Chains A and B, each alone.
Chain A
């Protein structure tokens, strides 16, 4: 207790010195958080862009569907079943059903390979705001034979609102799927590839077309908190009532995206290591100077009878205080800074905007506010600065009392 008091008083004996040391830790935390936030931000955007318009954060499928993603393996799930999923798992906010298959789509003269997708517009829009990308017409009018198609597909097939589209393909387990539909809307899908192929229709209509009543290729599960998708998936897979179905996270459904992110993280880790080295030396410089400056004081203390290990403890406690304050203040300073960049992301420069808008992206570097990396970086920087503290501690044990006191 006495030591702590002594250390605390020592700190405020020379305020200037203390603040300089604290500020070097503070800056280290700030820089590390900035870098990590920028990196996480770009990953989050990547995941969001990809996941929202493809697999969703978590999915429920028939057990056979994962290995053979074909409409033949569509699962049986009617409205009651969808309601039951939400009722059984309180973590799930809502679900997004889909029935989809590849088929030929024809206009007056031309034929294209199309991606026929039966959706429930309300939940689909709630999930990925597809309605914002509608360029003409409506997302469904309530007719029984209506489709909304990608602007690319419309152009290739020479179709506009009010024209008819003929679909021809294979339905559920060998059934023939053919039908004539009215184009009621044009949507610009953000994935250019899909924009050339996408045909949206109301889910019941698609189920009728493919002869797959009450069946879905998959049911997207949207958790209340997006990062809790793993919990949702685990809960379903452990639930005895869902043995015929299997839930997957987007990580399982999109291993390529996971690999891309891992690679990206390896790169950031390299950058972070370099940053740690640089800021580590910065902290070392200040701690070293502090030690030198106080050698005389140490010498005197030892010569009047203070045991070296007690002195070492005092110094250790002092630096512990300083590092701790530095880290806390660093995080506190980082929060408003990162908040600013979170709401005002760095622009990639003019000229990029139009190009990226076509892909449904913004031409900015986004920042993340995921609390997880705040702890991580704070702990790492704290660890580095505590490592550096070993220098003055060792120094105290090696100090030549006579020379030091004479200074």
Chain B
């Protein structure tokens, strides 16, 4: 007890130095925690946007369609299938699409696109697509020959609202069919490559051309909660026993790669900061021990045993780092929590952010285990950097030390 008190008082004998060390620990933790949460938040926003706007949580296809993309590989049935999916508990919304590869041509350009036949209302409930429109209108009213194309594709084709473009594709019987469509709307989803290679028309209109009745190629489901997909899957599989039911990570494994490498980067970064902190702490304490050679020698000479000297120095280091760390963790946690609620406005970078599919206001996200892991790392770091100076203090010879 006496020793603890002594260590605590020793710390405050040199306020500037102690505060500098504490500030380093404090700032390192707060900043490290905050930036890790920010990066996580950006990734989160990117995925949410990508998943919610483009691929949805779950997709259902004809099992061979995923690879072969044949027009006849549809999921059969009429609209009752969609309605029954929408009623499954846990499903927020669902929509069906017809999906084909086709050539798109205007007077000045010919290119390939992925053509989606959509049901405008349920599509918008599921992907909120209409918000991407920058010109013209979303598909509305009775099924007609209206088409929505991406901004970059419109530039390539040199067309605007009201222009006529020709689509060529194979129908169910593999005959080449061409049809004229009128551009009704131009969208910009933020993903340039997507905009360049995607177009939307009325499903009913397209299906008639293809000769596939009310069949569809893709059923996309947006769940209430992305973490609760496995509970919906059986119901969907049961409704469409012959079809493949895939969740977002099965559809886009590349997303998983990005998450993993970004997480790894965050952890390496935190470890680098901790090494930096540990080294600063170690050096400062080592210097402090040498500066106090005389004092420590005196303590030993008047009878303080070596064990106690060791404990004294070690405790000083621990107190320094723990008090900085405790406040740092607390403040870091509160800071992240505050910004998680309020959001951090990064509209300064809005160009790039839009390009990457990130919202302009980012909500930092903290992995619930992160503060705990961080606390453990801090304790390990502090212990390691406490031991060496303490050992050094032990190796002083009292007589020589006093003489200095």
**Chain A residues at the B interface, C-beta cutoff of 8 Å:** 16-17, 20-21, 23-24, 27-28, 31, 34-35, 38, 42, 68-70, 102, 104, 109-113, 115, 155-156, 169-170, 197, 256, 259-260, 262-263, 266-267, 270-271, 274-275, 277-279, 281-286, 288-290, 292-293, 346, 348-349, 352, 355-356, 359, 363, 365
Contact = CB atoms under 8 A, between A and B. Distances in A.
B101 interface: yes
B44 to A, nearest CB: 14
Contact of A274 (B32, B256, B264, B352): B32
A274 B67 contact: no
A326 to B, nearest CB: 11
Nearest to B32: A274
Contacts of A282: 24, 276-277, 279-281, 283-284
Nearest to B21: A285
Contact of B174 (A27, A70, A111, A275): A111
B111 A102 contact: yes
B133 to A, nearest CB: 21
B283 A112 contact: no
A110 B72 CA distance: 11
B355 interface: yes
A311 B70 CA distance: 85
Given A20-B283, A156-B69, A278-B273, A263 B349 contact: yes
Given A42-B261, A274-B27, 5 more contacts: A69-B156, A102-B111, A259-B351, A271-B35, A282-B276
A293 B264 CA distance: 42
B290 interface: yes
B261 A348 contact: yes
B17 A278 contact: no
A65 B276 CA distance: 52
A35 B280 contact: no
B195 to A, nearest CB: 11
B288 interface: yes
Interface stretch (B48-56, B102-110, B335-343): B102-110
B253 interface: yes
Contact of A286 (B69, B109, B257, B284): B284
Contact of A20 (B39, B287, B353): B287
B176 interface: yes
A278 B276 contact: yes
A267 B112 contact: no
B134 interface: no
Contact of B272 (A31, A113, A284, A289): A31
A289 B291 contact: yes
Interface in B8-57: 14, 16-17, 20-21, 23-24, 27-28, 31-32, 35, 38-39, 42
Nearest to A104: B103
Given A31-B272, A282-B279, A352-B257, A260 B170 contact: no
Contact of A355 (B170, B192, B256): B256
Given A102-B111, A259-B351, A284-B20, A267 B39 contact: yes
Interface in B210-257: 253-254, 256-257
B269 to A, nearest CB: 5
A259 B101 contact: no
Contact of A348 (B16, B101, B176, B264): B264
B79 interface: no
B367 interface: no
Contacts of B370: none
A274 B253 contact: no
Leading 6 A-B pairs by shortest Cβ distance: A282-B280, A281-B24, A285-B284, A113-B112, A289-B287, A274-B31
A288 B280 CA distance: 12
A301 B192 CA distance: 70
- Main secondary structure on B side of the interface with A: helix
Given A31-B272, A260-B355, A279-B276, A292 B24 contact: no
B110 A110 contact: no
B70 A110 contact: yes
A279 B280 contact: yes
Contacts of A169: 110
B356 A263 contact: yes
Contacts of B253: 355
A327 B286 CA distance: 21
Given A281-B280, A282-B277, A348-B260, A113 B287 contact: no
10 contacts: A27-B276, A31-B272, A34-B272, A102-B103, A156-B69, A281-B20, A282-B277, A289-B17, A293-B291, A365-B268
Contacts of B102: 113
Contacts of B68: 155-156
- Main secondary structure on A side of the interface with B: helix
A279 B260 CA distance: 28
B17 A259 contact: no
Contacts of B268: 38, 346, 365
A274 B355 CA distance: 27
B356 A286 contact: no
A135 B144 CA distance: 45
Contacts of A102: 103, 110-112
A266 B356 CA distance: 14
B284 A289 contact: yes
A178 to B, nearest CB: 13
B276 A31 contact: yes
B275 interface: yes
A173 B152 CA distance: 23
A95 to B, nearest CB: 27
Contact of A260 (B112, B168, B276, B356): B356
B39 A365 contact: no
B23 A346 contact: no
A278 to B, nearest CB: 4
Contacts of B174: 109-111
A285 B103 contact: no
Contact of B290 (A16, A111, A271): A16
B273 A113 contact: no
Contact of B286 (A20, A111, A270, A356): A20
Contacts of B273: 274-275, 278
Contacts of B24: 277-278, 281-282, 284-285
A317 B401 CA distance: 29
A17 B293 CA distance: 13
Contact of A277 (B31, B70, B279, B291): B31
Given A113-B101, A156-B68, A277-B28, A288 B272 contact: no
Contacts of A70: 108-109
Contact of B112 (A197, A279, A349): A197
Contact of B192 (A34, A256, A349, A363): A256
Contacts of A266: 349
Nearest to B38: A270
Contacts of B21: 281, 285
Contacts of A293: 287, 290-291
Nearest to B275: A31
B365 to A, nearest CB: 15
Contacts of B269: 35, 271
